[in-house]
Amino acid sequence: MTVYNFSAGPAMLPADVMAQAQQEFLDWGGLGTSVMEISHRSAEFMRVAAESEADLRQLMNIPEDYTVLFMHGGGRGQFAAVPLNLAQPHQHGMHLVSGSWSKAAVVEASKYIHADSADIRFEENGIIGADVSLASPVGDDTAFVHYCPNETVDGIELFDVPSAKVPIVADMSSNILSREINVADYGLIYASAQKNIGPSGLAVVIVKTELLGGAQPQTPVILDYTAAAQNESMFNTPPTYSWYLSGLVFKWLLQNGGVAAIEAVNRQKAALLYKAIDASDLFVNRIAPQNRSLMNVVFQLRDESLNAQFLTESVQHGLHALKGHRSVGGMRASIYNPMPLAGVQCLVEFMQEFERTKG
């Protein structure tokens, strides 16, 4: 039986990448050791780091006046790093709240600056959406505008970029590399790795170079973008194996046509699943069509007494990790870049058969 992993993160990795990592696990590059055992400052690993950055720059068409950093701490680490690096304690950061993760960013930022927030969600007839145009105007003391283009828990994606005269900061942890964007629209993009990049333990930061150099004095050096940039993301030992695997994922994407090609597949997968839900009498998605996530499809069973049976039988059919986040319930199918179209087709077929026999 083929198993399809719909986990929201840590999430599935490309099968080709996993096979290569398995083959190289004990003897990488002919060295007779694993890549995780060699010095991060060795010439061999420095090549891994350089190629990873070059490949990511190519995939995202990152301008030359942006710095790429590979850092510790995942997305939550960046909730603190952003205000510490981009604002002083007396300044404000405007946070657009569209779901669970953007709300969590406000809580963390409030420890270091004045963390203003604007809830940009709306609800009409039980349908939930979000609109960046609902944001409050920024004041003269606002250092940045922060938002989360894709909310993994809530299944809400924002396809418009906020407009402001200050740097736009985007938490792209769950949709980076899933569709084409214009990096120049942003002052800073960050993403934890464990969804569309690689395994957990790594965060990628893409920051306009002119924004470096203004960290608050108490900023921990491990979160200081300037220190990271000056030391090629190696002020201390980085999560080398996560970095190596992320580099393999970048190469996999390039070999498969880059971001434009994977976006076409992602849109096809999402359209197939949403169409099946909309045609169903048992399953329902309550997200406004213009905000339906390409990466995290949330849905509910109208008869919630069937939830446990649905999850049990889905695993029996090789469809894993479909349980929704504990804070919202229901179901969630995370269909990141590595999820093949065949996986979504199998899920749709299972849902249709489940409804035919149980609905």
**Non-local CB neighbours of 137 within 8 Å, separated by 6+ positions:** none
Alpha-carbon span 51 to 190, nearest angstrom: 19
**Does residue 141 sit in the same domain as residue 191?**
yes
**Does residue 195 sit in the same domain as residue 342?**
no
Task: Say if 3 falls within a structural domain.
Answer: no
Which one, of 316, 304, 318, 315, lies nearest residue 358 by Cα?
Answer: 304
Task: Say if 26 falls within a structural domain.
Answer: no
Q: What is the pLDDT of residue 359?
A: 62
Task: Say if 132 falls within a structural domain.
Answer: yes
Q: What is the pLDDT of residue 93?
A: 97
**Does residue 196 sit in the same domain as residue 320?**
no
pLDDT 10s digit of each residue in the chain, 359 long? 899 999 999 999 999 999 999 999 999 999 999 999 999 999 999 999 999 999 999 999 999 999 999 999 889 999 999 999 999 999 999 999 999 999 999 999 999 999 999 999 999 999 999 999 988 788 899 999 999 999 999 999 999 999 999 999 999 999 999 999 999 999 999 999 999 999 999 999 999 999 999 999 999 999 999 999 999 999 999 999 999 999 999 999 999 999 999 999 999 999 999 999 999 999 999 999 999 999 999 999 999 999 999 999 999 999 999 999 988 889 999 999 999 999 999 999 999 999 999 86
Query: Of 237, 255, 273, which closes a domain?
Result: 255
Amino acid at residue number 345: Q
Q: What is the pLDDT of residue 172?
A: 98
Query: Of 255, 274, 303, which closes a domain?
Result: 255
**Does residue 152 sit in the same domain as residue 90?**
yes
**Does residue 242 sit in the same domain as residue 310?**
no
**Does residue 319 sit in the same domain as residue 170?**
no
**Does residue 336 sit in the same domain as residue 351?**
yes
Alpha-carbon span 257 to 171, nearest angstrom: 25
Cβ proximity of 175 and 294 under 8 Å: yes
Task: Say if 56 falls within a structural domain.
Answer: yes
Q: What is the pLDDT of residue 139?
A: 87
Task: Say if 186 falls within a structural domain.
Answer: yes
**Does residue 233 sit in the same domain as residue 288?**
no
Query: Of 218, 238, 255, which closes a domain?
Result: 255
**Non-local CB neighbours of 349 within 8 Å, separated by 6+ positions:** none
- End-to-end CA, the chain: 26
Cβ proximity of 292 and 155 under 8 Å: yes
**Non-local CB neighbours of 131 within 8 Å, separated by 6+ positions:** 120, 122, 160
**Does residue 235 sit in the same domain as residue 325?**
no
Give residue 73's domain range.
Answer: 36-255
Task: Say if 4 falls within a structural domain.
Answer: no
Indicate which CATH number applies to the domain containing 154. 3.40.640.10
Indicate which CATH number applies to the domain containing 349. 3.90.1150.10
Task: Say if 266 falls within a structural domain.
Answer: yes
- Which residues are identified as catalytic? 101, 171, 195
**Does residue 115 sit in the same domain as residue 177?**
yes
Give me the number of domains the chain comprises: 2
Task: Say if 134 falls within a structural domain.
Answer: yes
Q: What is the pLDDT of residue 327?
A: 83
**Does residue 112 sit in the same domain as residue 227?**
yes
**Does residue 215 sit in the same domain as residue 309?**
no
Q: Is the pTM of this model over 0.95?
A: yes
